[in-house]
Amino acid sequence: MSDLICELVKETDPFLKEMPVGFDFENPQVDPDKLSEQLIANMIHYKGYGLSANQMGIPVTVFAMIHGEHIFTVFNPNILEWSPETTYMREGCLSFPNLWIAIERAKGIATKFQLANGEEQSGNFIDLSARIFQHEHEHMEGALFIDNVSGFKLRSAQRKRRKLRRKKKNEEYDGIY
């Protein structure tokens, strides 16, 4: 399975801001089953709740996500409706390691998408699953979770990340001279 694992696109790479193209089941850009397998393998490897194809350098509208006990891939996602009720919680992104920012999102969403076999699905997601779907859907629009965050909030989160990195680096030091 290690041959499926790849390095993720870095947060500074402008590729993350490019809008991926729709997945074409009539003339697939890549094998949908292999892409699905690779997305899931990388999401698990990097300990994420979701991972979009463009985070692996593949510019198509596909992402993997955890939904309760299930893991699946979403092709050509659409959010049809957002609940008026919102939730506010810390969120991260695998392309931005250890950067955590409180983000407000709709508590529930109604969606339409396709599975790896091209089958159309409709689904409602709430709470964490809705948050994951919305976060990954942003990647499908060439947007990032930091885009609508104030400069103050972003700088504060980046300072916390630097402190965390220094702490982890110091913990790795074993005290031998």
Q: Where are the domains of the chain?
A: 2-96+103-146
Query: Has residue 36 got a pLDDT over 70?
Result: yes
Token pair recorded at residue 2: 């290690």
Model confidence over 59-116: pLDDT tens digits?
A: 999 999 999 999 999 999 999 999 999 999 999 999 999 999 999 999 999 999 999 9
For residue 65, give the amino acid letter.
M
**pLDDT for position 176:** 47
The residue among 51, 54, 65 whose CA lies nearest residue 20 is 54
The residue among 133, 111, 130, 132 whose CA lies nearest residue 122 is 111
**pLDDT for position 69:** 92
CATH code reported for the domain at 2-96+103-146 = 3.90.45.10
The model's pTM is: 0.90
From the candidates 7, 91, 120, 136, which is the catalytic residue?
Answer: 136
**Distance between CA 85 and CA 47 in Å, rounded?**
28
The residue among 15, 112, 106, 3 whose CA lies nearest residue 55 is 15
**pLDDT for position 172:** 62
Separation of first and last alpha carbons in the chain: 38
Model confidence over 117-163: pLDDT tens digits?
A: 999 999 999 999 999 999 999 999 999 999 989 999 999 999 999 99
**Distance between CA 26 and CA 77 in Å, rounded?**
17
**pLDDT for position 73:** 97
Give the DSSP H or E segment for 57.
none
**pLDDT for position 111:** 98
Query: Has residue 170 got a pLDDT over 80?
Result: no
**Is residue 136 annotated as part of the catalytic site, yes or no?**
yes
Contact predicate 66/49, CB 8 Å:
yes
**pLDDT for position 167:** 81
Query: Has residue 53 got a pLDDT over 50?
Result: yes
